[in-house]
Amino acid sequence: MSTLCRPSVAVPEHVITMAESLDLARRLQADNPRLPLALRLIENTGVRKRHLVQPIEQTLRHPGFEARNLLYQQQAKKRVPPVVYQALANADLGVRDIDLIVYVSCTGFTMPSLTAWLVNALGMRSDTRQLPIAQLGCAAGGAAINRAHDFCAAYPDANVLIVSCEFCSLCYQPGDDDIGSLLSDGLFGDAVAAAVVRGSGGTGMRLERNGSYLIPHTQDWISYAVKDTGFHFRLDKRVPTTMEPLAPVMRDLVRRHHWDASALDFYVVHAGGPRILDDLSRFLGVDAQAFRHSRATLTEYGNIASAVVFDALDRLFAEGGPGVGGHGIIAGFGPGITAEMAVGTWIADAAKAPGNRSAHREAASWSTV
């Protein structure tokens, strides 16, 4: 069975607080009759602060799609490698131990994918396989974990590196003043995350079953309108209601694994907003505290798209984990409306037990951004 090891997560150094976001909205949308509703929705997200790849003054300018996409590439090449090295160290592996890279991002575009650059820049093997995922949005973190699980099921000795690179601030569109756009302007943040799925060995979540589900006829609820100015985010007001049809799907997946979704030991869930977590708590019949890690990500970083599940999982690791043998679920939700879910058991690598003298590989030198 493959093991999802401890992720590595980094956020940029530029910070915008909730108070600053609200003040900006009041200044930039002073004549917008929908402003009071937008302010109320932003306040209700519970986001305390977000991190951006540029100072807010530069973020608010729109130099054109070409310039923004170039900035995406530059920032990705600057910020991804340190996070990758730490994720490899967490998994006790080196760059040449990786057999597949899954790269997920919905906030910029490169061709070839950044996977090709990583293989060359990090000195990975030339036969490393590449799987870029660009259009699953916030669900892509869960999808990457599931595709890594599938790959390791086919190749039991393989190791998979997952990279999530989301610079949501580069999708800011100053001319968009609908409620969905205004809400997203106060909700989304930037982050980079990486994690390794080991085909054997490792400490973390042993991946045992996964599933996908598409809510029929909801493909327009979360989407991009692609224009000369780049990606324009579209968010339907019905999106917060999606946990009612998805909670039974999660419950069924867990039941097919002979567990009870209301009695798991850990829950790592994409925090698109507070209502998603509140509704899951209600529909699954679990205490709200079960989603504390997802809520902490939302509070500290905002919605960081596909990186949310990795940051929430890292917080679970930091807490000490649920204990060996604990049962849990990871779930990401995004455009489609799509759910990507994985269930598994918490395990500890015997080679890392206290008193064991096996060497731990040291990460390459890096600095936190």
Asked if residue 217 and residue 166 are part of one domain, the reply reads no
Asked if residue 139 and residue 247 are part of one domain, the reply reads no
Query: Is the residue at 110 inside a domain?
Result: yes
Q: Which amino acid is at 138?
A: C
Nearest Cα to Cα of residue 205 among 265, 163, 154: 265
> Is the CB of residue 339 less than 8 Å from the CB of residue 275?
no
Query: Is the residue at 288 inside a domain?
Result: yes
pLDDT at position 66: 95
Asked if residue 173 and residue 124 are part of one domain, the reply reads yes
Domain that holds residue 215: 204-225+237-348
pLDDT for 60 beyond 80: yes
- CA 93, CA 304: separation in Å to the nearest integer? 26
Q: Is 173 left (phi over 0), alpha (psi -120 to 50) or beta?
A: beta
The reply to whether omega before 98 is within 30° of 0 (cis) is no
Asked if residue 52 and residue 36 are part of one domain, the reply reads yes
Asked if residue 141 and residue 217 are part of one domain, the reply reads no
Query: Is the residue at 354 inside a domain?
Result: no
Query: Is the residue at 42 inside a domain?
Result: yes
- Mean pLDDT for 284-292 is 95
Query: Is the residue at 280 inside a domain?
Result: yes
pLDDT at position 330: 98
- CA 354, CA 327: separation in Å to the nearest integer? 23
Asked if residue 285 and residue 216 are part of one domain, the reply reads yes
Query: Is the residue at 361 inside a domain?
Result: no
Which whole-number Å values give the CA distances from 126 to 156, 159, 191, 326, in the listed order? 20, 15, 28, 38
Asked if residue 181 and residue 126 are part of one domain, the reply reads yes
Asked if residue 153 and residue 271 are part of one domain, the reply reads no
- Mean pLDDT for 234-253 is 93
Point out which residues pair with 340 in neighbouring strands: 212, 332
Domain count, the chain: 2
pLDDT for 363 beyond 90: no
Query: Is the residue at 232 inside a domain?
Result: no
Q: Which range, of 51-60, 199-208, 228-237, averages the lowest pLDDT?
A: 228-237
- Mean pLDDT for 196-213 is 97
- Mean pLDDT for 308-337 is 96
Query: Is the residue at 249 inside a domain?
Result: yes
pLDDT for 237 beyond 50: yes
pLDDT at position 130: 98
Average pLDDT value over all residues in the chain? 92
Radius of gyration of the chain (CA): 20
Asked if residue 250 and residue 130 are part of one domain, the reply reads no
Q: What is the pLDDT of residues 33-46, one digit of tens each?
A: 999 999 999 999 99
pLDDT at position 358: 32
pLDDT at position 364: 33
Q: Residue 277 belongs to a domain with what CATH number?
A: 3.40.47.10
Q: What is the pLDDT of residues 98-138, one digit of tens each?
A: 999 999 999 999 999 999 999 999 999 999 999 999 999 99
Q: Is 138 a catalytic residue?
A: yes
Asked if residue 138 and residue 59 are part of one domain, the reply reads yes
What pTM value is reported for the model?
Answer: 0.92
Residue 350 — very low, low, confident or very high, per pLDDT cuts 50/70/90? low
Tell me the backbone φ, ψ of residue 238, rounded to 5 degrees: -85, -10
What percent of the chain is predicted at pLDDT more than 70?
Answer: 95
Residue 351 — very low, low, confident or very high, per pLDDT cuts 50/70/90? low
Which H, E and C letters describe the chain, residue by residue? CCEECCCEEECCCEEEEHHHHHHHHHHHCCCCCCHHHHHHHHHHCCCCEEEECCCHHHHCCCCCHHHHHHHHHHHHHHHHHHHHHHHHHHCCCCHHHCCEEEEECCCCCCCCCHHHHHHHHCCCCCCCEEEEECCCHHHHHHHHHHHHHHHHHHCCCCEEEEEEEEEHHHHCCCCCCCHHHHHHHCCECEEEEEEEEECCCCCEEEEEEEEEEECCCCCCCEEEEEECCEEEEEECCCHHHCHHHHHHHHHHHHHHCCCCHHHCCEEEECCCCHHHHHHHHHHHCCCHHHHHHHHHHHHHHCECHHHHHHHHHHHHHHCCCCCCCCEEEEEEEECCCEEEEEEEEEECCHHHCCCCCCCCCCCCCCCCC
> Is the CB of residue 232 less than 8 Å from the CB of residue 173?
yes
Q: Which amino acid is at 63?
A: P
Catalytic entry in 106, 138, 168, 171: 138
pLDDT at position 360: 33
